[in-house]
A and B are shown apart, each in its own frame.
Chain A
């Protein structure tokens, strides 16, 4: 249903902002789109909300392209980023091995490619640990397909550029329905700071 029956203070039903975002993303059916457009041609309140939605969409677009988020992505997004002229630095150590890595001021995206063979589609977490095995961060229930063959994790380029020389271990952890964990793969990244100047912080 597109035009939600949310009574506002003017007594008129308005379009839910989430539906307005679908409209902006061209994700509505033709019939839903027509209903929304007729409403927008008669309702300035929803027009104002659509402008807010458009600003949010533009900001999300900029954010998605900025490389500043830590997020699981797919190969298609990397291909599009490359086609858009972004400079991608990617590291994919074999399972159980380590790799020397860095990031330069010119890099736009930093990618860790982690090989994975899944026999089931159970929950998979990505745990980031230090060399002492202490978990520093866990990405819970990452999106992954059983036949994907790898996990592509975009690291924040801002974080990486400010990082001191340090090492991190990425562990792909399978979690079954009882909460039992098993390590599906482990990959060690030895990051060397090559950008001039002091790092943004020091390791504790």
Chain B
């Protein structure tokens, strides 16, 4: 069977058996997923790209060596590798050039998606929110204001701030979809 039609778990034994096609397919699928993890934790596109490369290298090494005994646990395995690698990346910016030279042809990150938010409509939708919701949105997104700071301003609990933010975001999504 073509590697493209296999599940993530089904790729694992194929890689252990030396299938380069399965390796390529795993990299194609996992690179964008790992990059999202990197963007969330490293807040940098270039650092996220480094993370993709390093995690895929470590994953391929482990799978080639048959160290992942339960293929269904591929996602938790990669998540654990992401965590350890982020810790490493935070300690050092040194890149593993030698490993890259070995596996680099599998590791080109996908191009970044172009912005798709209608800025003018978003401003109208935010202005249409209730006062409390608009204040929470502006303060939360200004520069990652913590829920505790916003809660102190509103004189309410962090849980309530989260509820207000959820309600506002749902209303924003509806408003943006109606405008499309």
Q: What residues make up the interface of A, taking CB atoms closer than 8 Å to B?
A: 17-18, 21-27, 34, 37-38, 40-42, 44, 47, 50-52, 54-65, 68-74, 76-77, 80-81, 84, 121, 139-143, 145-146, 154
Main secondary structure of the interface of A (DSSP, over half): helix
Q: Contacting chain A: which of B90-98, B99-107, B119-127?
A: B119-127
Given A23-B40, A44-B29, A145-B153; A70-B137 close (CB under 8 Å): no
In the complex, whether B2 has a CB less than 8 A from a CB of chain A is no
**Which B residues from 107 to 165 make CB contacts under 8 A with A?**
113, 115-117, 119, 122-123, 126-127, 130-132, 134-145, 147, 149, 153-155, 162, 165
Point out the residues of chain B lying under 8 angstroms from A140, CB to CB.
Answer: 130-131
Task: Determine whether the beta carbon of A59 is less than 8 Å from that of B122.
Answer: yes
In the complex, whether B89 has a CB less than 8 A from a CB of chain A is no
Main secondary structure of the interface of B (DSSP, over half): helix
Point out the residues of chain A lying under 8 angstroms from B123, CB to CB.
Answer: 63, 68-69
Number of residues of chain B lying within 8 A (CB) of chain A: 51
Q: Tell which of A41, A51, A72, A80 has the most Cβ of chain B within 10 Å.
A: A41
Task: Determine whether the beta carbon of B142 is less than 8 Å from that of A77.
Answer: yes
In the complex, whether B170 has a CB less than 8 A from a CB of chain A is yes
Task: Determine whether the beta carbon of A73 is less than 8 Å from that of B135.
Answer: yes
In the complex, whether B67 has a CB less than 8 A from a CB of chain A is no
Task: Determine whether the beta carbon of B134 is less than 8 Å from that of A55.
Answer: no
Separation in Å of the B145 CB from the closest CB of chain A?
A: 7
Given A17-B173, A145-B153; A63-B119 close (CB under 8 Å): yes
A sample of 6 cross-chain residue pairs with beta-carbon separation below 8 angstroms, ordered by A number, consists of A17-B169, A18-B170, A22-B165, A63-B141, A74-B139, A146-B155
